[in-house]
């Protein structure tokens, strides 16, 4: 894709400020006499650039597989890209302290003068980042178990396999329901589910509060 084509695609996506000239300035990293960049990239522009280039936006910032190290913050050591990637996504607590005996460690200072310890505050804030991927994994597990159970319905001669398939589906559904209730306790919005899955949860009475989930169209 040429710069002209990229600028045209950005305009199509509504980012009229990402002109050919702006893209040249971004790529070159040219700076003003005072040392500041001639053209910064905003967060929403980073998303547009990623969509225009068909590249996950975070890969535009963190070059996984092509660099050994990337900068973190100005007065800390550079680290490998995947470590910093996990900081961005909340999968891992940043380890900016150290190295101590060759190991980097989380920051230990409190937030503000009398706030919680930094690592504890991070863990609480990052909690939703772990819950949504796990929700999707469990939802997919339910979907696969449902398909296996449906297939078992068509093989009525295999009574044992039929029973095992539906038992597995029920167990997967219970695991998803348990996770959903954990998300609700954390005050998080629950992604929509297929109506038939909700009906099965209600029929099995495995949700304390069935109103916390909402149906969507079938997959």
Reported as a single tens digit per residue, the pLDDT across 81-91 is 999 999 999 98
Longest pairwise C-alpha distance within the chain? 80
Instruction: Give the pLDDT confidence score for residue 218 in this predicted structure.
Output: 43
Q: Are residues 129 and 75 in the same domain?
A: no
Q: Are residues 51 and 84 in the same domain?
A: no
Instruction: Give the pLDDT confidence score for residue 99 in this predicted structure.
Output: 84
Q: Considering the domain boundaries, does residue 203 fall inside one?
A: yes
Q: Considering the domain boundaries, does residue 113 fall inside one?
A: no
Instruction: Give the pLDDT confidence score for residue 6 in this predicted structure.
Output: 96
Residue-wise pLDDT tens digits, 36-62 = 777 789 999 999 999 999 999 999 989
CA distance 101 to 106: 14
Q: Are residues 71 and 55 in the same domain?
A: no
Q: Are residues 124 and 208 in the same domain?
A: yes
DSSP string covering 45-57: HHHHHHHHHTS-H
Tokens encoding 69:
């190290």
> How many other C-beta atoms can be found within 10 angstroms of the C-beta atom of residue 218?
8
CA distance 169 to 95: 40
Handedness of CA 94, 98, 104, 105 (dihedral sign): negative
Instruction: Give the pLDDT confidence score for residue 101 in this predicted structure.
Output: 81
Instruction: Give the pLDDT confidence score for residue 168 in this predicted structure.
Output: 94
Number of domains in the chain: 3
Q: Are residues 93 and 46 in the same domain?
A: no
Q: Are residues 137 and 191 in the same domain?
A: yes
H helix runs in 57-112, sequence order: 57-61, 81-89
Q: Considering the domain boundaries, does residue 166 fall inside one?
A: yes
Q: Are residues 82 and 150 in the same domain?
A: no
Intervals of the chain under pLDDT 70 = 156-158, 217-219
Q: Considering the domain boundaries, does residue 110 fall inside one?
A: no
Q: Are residues 136 and 179 in the same domain?
A: yes
CA distance 23 to 30: 11
In sequence order, what are the beta bridge partners of 117?
110
- Please answer whether residues 18 and 49 qualify as being in contact, where contact means their C-beta atoms are separated by less than 8 angstroms: yes
Q: Considering the domain boundaries, does residue 50 fall inside one?
A: yes
Q: Are residues 169 and 191 in the same domain?
A: yes
Q: Residue 217: CB partners within 8 Å, gap ≥ 6?
A: 194
Q: Are residues 9 and 70 in the same domain?
A: no
Domain enclosing residue 53, as ranges: 1-61
Q: Are residues 23 and 48 in the same domain?
A: yes
Instruction: Give the pLDDT confidence score for residue 138 in this predicted structure.
Output: 96
CA distance 182 to 11: 42
Q: Are residues 128 and 199 in the same domain?
A: yes
């Amino acid at each position: 894709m040429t710069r002209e084509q990229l600028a045209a695609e950005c305009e199509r996506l509504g980012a009229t400020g990402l002109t050919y000239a702006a893209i040249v300035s971004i790529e070159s990293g040219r700076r003003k006499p005072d040392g500041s960049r001639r053209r910064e990239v905003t967060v929403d522009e980073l998303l547009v650039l990623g969509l225009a280039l068909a590249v996950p936006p975070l890969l535009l910032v963190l070059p996984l597989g092509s660099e050994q190290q990337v900068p973190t913050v100005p007065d800390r050591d550079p680290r490998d890209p995947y470590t910093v990637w996990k900081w961005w996504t909340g999968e891992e607590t940043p380890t900016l302290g150290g190295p101590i005996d060759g190991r980097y460690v989380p920051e230990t200072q409190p937030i503000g003068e009398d706030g919680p310890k930094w690592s504890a505050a991070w863990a609480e804030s990052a909690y939703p980042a772990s819950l949504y991927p796990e929700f999707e994994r469990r939802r997919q597990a339910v979907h696969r178990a449902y398909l296996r159970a449906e297939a078992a319905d068509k093989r009525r001669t295999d009574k044992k396999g039929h029973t095992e398939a539906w038992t597995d589906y029920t167990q997967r559904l219970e695991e998803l329901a348990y996770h959903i209730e954990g998300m609700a306790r954390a005050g998080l919005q629950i992604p929509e589910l297929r109506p038939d899955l909700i009906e099965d949860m209600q029929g099995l009475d495995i949700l304390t509060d069935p109103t916390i989930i909402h149906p969507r169209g079938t997959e």
